[in-house]
Amino acid sequence: MRLKRQEAVEVVLNSFGSVLFKIKRFVEKIPVEFLPEIANQGCLLTGGGVLVPGLSRLLSEETGLPMIVSQTPQLSIIQGLSRLDADKKLRAKLEIKDELF
């Protein structure tokens, strides 16, 4: 069986349903004072999954916020973790809250 590119993209995008739900929940919990800045600068998307054609457009349409794909999405996460590992002051400021997701 052969799939056309658009059919494959639709299958992949449909599988992002649970991820999209979590992103929308996260966006709903963003403090109001940050929304103008996010609406102006956009949300930076990282990780190899953001290279799926149409994903950034779908996320933008669903959240109402502009989405920007990182220049090196496959490396962004490891680069950020490396920075955190090297910068104790930055790491001390980071607080992860499970309830955001």
Q: Is the pTM of this model over 0.85?
A: no
Alpha helix locations (H) across the chain? 5-14, 17-28, 35-41, 55-63, 73-86, 88-93
Domain coordinates in residue numbering, the chain? 5-100
Lowest-confidence segment of 29-38, 58-67, 85-94 by average pLDDT: 85-94
* pLDDT of 22: 87
DSSP state letter for 59: H
The one-letter amino acid at 90: L
Q: Which fold would CATH assign to domain 5-100?
A: Nucleotidyltransferase; domain 5 (3.30.420)
Q: Across residues 17-45, what is the average pLDDT? A: 87
Mean pLDDT for all residues in the chain: 83
